[in-house]
Amino acid sequence: MSQPRYSTVPAHVAIIMDGNGRWANGRGLPRTMGHRKGVEAVREAVRTAGESGVKYLTLFAFSSENWRRPESEVSDLMGLLKSFVRRDLETLHRENVRVKVIGDRANLRSDVLPLLLEAEERTRANTAITLVIAFNYGARDEIARAMRSIAGDVAAGVLHPADITPERISARLDTAGIPDPDLIIRTSGEERLSNFLLWQAAYAELMFIPDFWPDFSRQTFLAALENYASRERRFGGLSERPLAVGS
Ligand code: FPP
């Protein structure tokens, strides 16, 4: 298969995978079938990102607000994540994909956390692309945890308030060491960030795509990358110029 490379490939693409339920409803299927089909779209997105030269792909798999869904749907989503890690970890590893998980790890179910840790550990040294799975993730929660950590250092006298800079805040977030997303895509036609990467989205290009997530194909992804390449980014200045840190 040819490897399309656009003149300006985003280093980091983050996706809000929305519309699984509506995809299923429209076909008279249970919502869970939408999530199942969504996992296939995840596989294709990881492959397409890697082939296109994207270095980081962040997927919003489960938000800290998703616990409010019915118990059966929550347990279905947990099951799908677990089976994705169990079934796909070796393939991801073979394809040189590094897995990183962001989100609150405290109080995660004992059948989920070890799998996520194993995926991170097994793929730690891989270099082709980093797949960032946002799980039990909420941006305000992430920022609050970072602030608590900084406040702890200030209280202990090891950090002066004057030294709290945007770079130091970035370094305390779950995404420390990961460049800010260049492109954030949301599927299903909704036009919101829904508590996703709020700090990191400062200069991201936003793209809202009408397709439901299970229909997000290789072609849709490539069209999004082409659209991105045609955009001019200014970072608050007058010409396109990537910022040095976390741009
Ligand atoms: C949004 O659709 C989607 C989710 C809440 C979960 C996304 C999860 C997956 C695609 C599967 C597991 C993920 C990985 C990384 C293996 P929705 O249910 O909110 O759809 P709706 O808005 O149409 O109801």
pLDDT digits over 1-29, tens only?
A: 455 555 699 999 999 999 999 999 999 99
246 in any annotated domain: no
Active-site annotation holder among 18, 88, 180, 182: 18
pLDDT digits (tens, 9 = 90+) for 65-120: 999 999 999 999 999 999 999 999 999 999 999 999 999 999 888 999 999 999 99
31 in any annotated domain: yes
pTM score = 0.93
59 in any annotated domain: yes
In total, how many domains does the chain have?
A: 1
In this structure, the residue with its CA closest to atom 7 of ligand 1 is: 61
> Would you say 192 and 18 are in contact if contact means Cβ atoms under 8 Å apart?
no
- Which domain CATH number covers 109? 3.40.1180.10
243 in any annotated domain: no
Q: Which domain holds residue 92?
A: 12-138+180-229
* Bridge partners, residue 97, by sequence: 129
241 in any annotated domain: no
Q: How many CB atoms lie within 10 A of CB 80?
A: 18
Distance, CA of 144 to CA of 171 (rounded, Å):
14
> Would you say 49 and 219 are in contact if contact means Cβ atoms under 8 Å apart?
no
94 in any annotated domain: yes
pLDDT digits (tens, 9 = 90+) for 118-153: 999 999 999 999 999 999 999 999 999 999 999 999
Active-site annotation holder among 20, 25, 66, 174: 66
173 in any annotated domain: no
